[in-house]
Amino acid sequence: MIKPMLPTLHQNPPQGKDWVYEVKYDGYRCIASLETNNVSLQSRGGTELSPSFPEIVQFLKDLTHINACKKMLPITLDCELVVLTSPRKANFQIIQKRGRTKTNENISKLSNEHPATLLAFDLLEIKGNTLILKKFSERKETLIHLFEQTRLPLSPIVNNASRLQYVPYSYNSEELWEQIKLEHGEGLIAKRINSTYTLGKRTTDWIKVKNYKTVTCFITAYQKENGYFHVGVFKGDSVEGIGLFSHGLTSEERTALIGVIKQNSYKEDDKFIYVKPGICVEIFYLEVYQNQLRHPEFSRFRFDVEVKECSADGLFKPTLPASVPITNPDKPLWEEPLVTKQSFVEFLYHCSPYMLPFLKDRAMTVIRFPHGMSGESFYQKNCPDYAPSFVETHVDQDINFILCNNMETLIWLGNQLALEFHVPFQTAFTIEPGEIVFDLDPPSKEHFPIAVTGALMMKEIFDQLGLYSFIKTSGRKGLQVYIPLQDGQFTYQDTRQFTEFIANYLVSKEPALFTVERLKKHRGNRVYVDYVQHAEGKTIIAPYSLRGNDLPTVATPLYWREVKESLRPEEFTLFTVQERLKKIGDPFQDFATSKTKQPFQDVLSSLKELRQ
C-alpha cells in the first residue's frame, strides 16, 4: 500500500518563483499502478477501487499493450479519480454515487452514463524506478513526456474518450483562481517546484486553497463525545439542520462557545447539550450535498446578525463579482411563480460555466425586459456608452456589438434585465459557422410531440452518417438540433446544401407532419423545419438563456435519451435547470471536443456526389 503525500490547508496560496499551481479536483485520491499483467486503483486509505470503475481499468489495461507505454512499465501515478463537469470542476455527487454502487449491473450502467476520468498530477515510478526523491519539476517533466509518447490528453477534457488525462500546472495563481471560481471548482494546490515526494505525510511543500462559500447559521447543539457543534437555519418557521463543524476555532473561541452554549441550554442528555437558535456564526463550506454542508469550517461569530436572518436561502447565495453591483435586487420579473432580479442574476452565475462557451466572441443581440414580464421588451445590439470597462465589444456594420466573454459581463447584462441571449452561428472574427442548428417549430405546444418525432428521425440519420449531434429545447414550444463544426472549415453555402437536404428529407418521409413552408398560414398543424434560419447574420437562442414567456422557461440542453413523447419543455425553468445541472451535469459538455471529430467533410462530399 502506497500512502500519498498530503497538502496543508491555507487560506491563500503562497507566491514566488518557487511555486506552481494546479487545479484541485473533488473526487477520490487514487494511486494507479500499471504493470504488464495487472492494473490497480488504490484509494488514499488503501481500498481497491477497481471494481467500481471498470471503464478506467479497461482503459489502463489497453494502454499497457501499446508499445510506447509497454516499455515504460511498471508505472505508478498519483491521481484524482473524478467525473468531470468542466475542465476545472468535478461532480462530487456522481463520484460518491459511483463509489458506493456495488451491484455489477448498476456499476455497468453508471460507467456508461457517467464515465470517470483519472487525472494524473504526479509520477512516482516509471520503468520500475522510483521518482519520489526527484524534484517535482522533474517528475512533472517525465510525466508529461509519458503522456506525449502515449498520445494522451495534456489537459483535462470533459467527456473525452481517454480515461487518463494530465493535470498541467500554472505559474499564475490569480489567473488560475479566476478560472476555478468561474467554473465553481473546489480550489487549487500550490506546489513547491523543487520539492521531493513525501510518502504519507502532510507537508507544507503542497498547499491547498479551497474555493469556499459562506453561510450564516446558528448553533443548535454541542456534541460532547467528539467536540462538534451542530448548526441549522430556518426553513420557514422550522429549524433545519445543515451539518456540524469543529475546525477553524481557536482554543479560546472554542472554550467561550461551549460556555455560552451551557449557559443558554434548554436540554442536555448523555450525548448533546441543546441550545435554541440565537448564537449566530459564519461557516465556510464547499457546497451543499444532500442538504448538508460539505467541509464546513468556522469563519467568525456574527453578533451583528439577527437570528431570523439565518435562513435556508443563504445556502444558495453565490458570491457575485464585486465589480457588478445589483440594483433593485427584489424587483419581480415574474409574479407567479415569483422570480426576482436577484434570483435571475444568481441563475446566470450558476449557469455561467455552461453558457459562456456559447457566448464567447459572438456578436450578441439581447432582449431586455426593463419592467419584467408585465412590461414592454426591446431588442438591443449596440453596447451602451455607460457599459463598464470589462465589457468587450466588436464593431460590425456600424453596430458596436457586446461580446459576453466573462462572467462580469454576463452578470452586468443580467442586472440590465437582458433575459434573452441570441447569438450568431459564427464568432465576430470568422465568417464561417461553428455549428449547424435545425429549429423544429410546432404550431402550438400541443403539437410538440411531432417535434420530438422529427428530432429522433434526424438523430437516426445523423447516427448513420457518423455525425455527432446535440439537442436542446428552444425555451418555448420547439426543439433545436445542433451539429458542431470545426471552426473555419465550412461555409454557409456548404451547410445550406446539407440543411436543405435534411429538411426536405423529413418532409418527403412524413409530409403530414413536417413542412418547410415559411408562411405560418400555410403550415397547418405541421412542424416547421427551419433550415433557412441557419445563415450569416441570423441568430439562435443561446443554451441556458431564459425566454420571455408566461413561465421562466430556459432553452435547455438535453441528453438524447430524454427525447421522448413524454418530454415537456415547460418543465425546464429557472428553478429546475439549476438542480438538473447539479444532478446530471451538462448534456453539451463535450460539444467543443466533438468539433474536431466531426466527419462532416465526408458527408458533404457524398451529398455533392449524390446531386451530380
Residue at 323 is within a domain: no
462 and 603 within one domain: yes
Torsion of CA 84, 89, 93, 99, to 10 degrees: 50
pLDDT at 41: 95
Q: Both 500 and 562 in a single domain?
A: yes
Range in 113-122, 558-567, 586-595 with the lowest mean pLDDT: 586-595
The CA-based angle 425-428-431, given to 5 degrees, is: 60
Does residue 294 lie in a domain region?
A: yes
Percent of the chain residues topping a pLDDT of 90: 78
Residues 219 and 302 in one domain: yes
CA angle 458, 462, 468 (to 5 degrees): 120
Alpha-carbon distance of 15 to 33, in angstroms, equals 33
Q: Decide if 117 is inside a domain.
A: yes
Are 159 and 39 within one domain?
Answer: yes
pLDDT of residue 541 exceeding 80: yes
Same domain, 355 and 403: yes
Buried b (16+ CB within 10 A) or exposed e, 492-522: bebbeebbbebbeebbeebeebbbbeeeeee
pLDDT digits (tens, 9 = 90+) for 136-195: 999 999 999 999 999 999 999 876 789 999 999 999 999 899 888 877 889 999 999 999
Q: What's the rounded mean pLDDT across residues 461-483?
A: 96
pLDDT of residue 316: 65
In tens, the pLDDT along 258-276 reads: 999 999 999 999 999 999 9
Neighbours of 468 (CB within 10 A): 18
27, three cell numbers: 473526487
Q: Quickly state the pLDDT bin for 559 (edges 50, 70, 90).
A: very high
Residues 79 and 203 grouped into a single domain: yes
The CATH number assigned to the domain holding 283 equals: 2.40.50.140
CA 400 from centroid of its chain's CA atoms: 30
361 and 407 both lie in a single domain: yes
Are the beta carbons of 299 and 214 closer than 8 angstroms?
A: yes
pTM of the model: 0.73
Look up residue 278 and give its amino acid.
G
Q: Residue 593: what pLDDT?
A: 79
Query: Would residue 108 count as lying in a domain?
Result: yes
Residues 294 and 395 in one domain: no
Cα R_g (the chain), whole angstroms: 27
State the catalytic residues. 24
User: What is the CATH number for 161?
Assistant: 3.30.470.30
Domain that includes residue 340, residue range: 332-424
What does the pLDDT read at residue 612?
60
Residue with grid cell 448534456, as numbered in its chain:
587
pLDDT at 178: 84
Residue 1 covered by a domain:
no
Q: Residues 464-490: what's their mean pLDDT?
A: 95
CATH number of the domain where residue 450 is located: 3.30.70.3300
195 and 228 together in one domain = no
Q: What is the mean pLDDT of residues 70-83?
A: 95
Burial class (CB in 10 A: 0-12, 13-18, 19+), 415: buried
441 and 564 part of one domain = yes
Contact 222, 279 (CB under 8 A): no
Query: How far is Cα 465 from Cα 198, in angstroms, rounded to an integer?
Result: 52
In a shared domain, residues 543 and 584: yes
Which amino acid is located at 297 in the chain?
E
Confidence of residue 529 (pLDDT cuts 50, 70, 90): very high
d(CA 490, CA 425): 12
Question: Nine-digit cell at 152?
Answer: 494522451
Query: Mean pLDDT, to the nearest integer, of 98-109?
Result: 90
Mean pLDDT, range 383-411, rounded to an integer = 94
The answer to the question of residue 286 being in a domain is yes
* Predicted local confidence at residue 117, as pLDDT: 95
Instruction: Examine the domain organization and report whether 220 and 203 are in the same domain.
Output: no
Task: Compute how many other C-beta atoms are within 10 angstroms of the C-beta atom of residue 17.
Answer: 7
pLDDT in tens, 286-332: 888 778 998 899 999 999 999 998 988 777 677 787 789 999 999 99
- Give the pLDDT confidence of 415-450 residue by residue, as tens digits: 999 999 999 999 999 999 999 999 999 999 899 999
Q: Which of 402, 424, 446 is at the close of a domain?
A: 424
Q: How confident is the model at residue 581 (pLDDT cuts 50, 70, 90)?
A: confident
Using the predicted structure, report yes or no on whether residue 82 has a pLDDT greater than 90: yes
Within-domain flag for 104:
yes
112, part of any domain: yes
* Chain mean pLDDT for the chain: 92
- Contact predicate 423/359, CB 8 Å: yes
Q: Write out the E strands in 412-508.
A: 418-424, 435-441, 470-473, 479-484
Q: How many domains, the chain? A: 4
Of 207, 232, 249, the one marking the end of a domain is: 207
Last residue of a domain, one of 424, 456, 474: 424
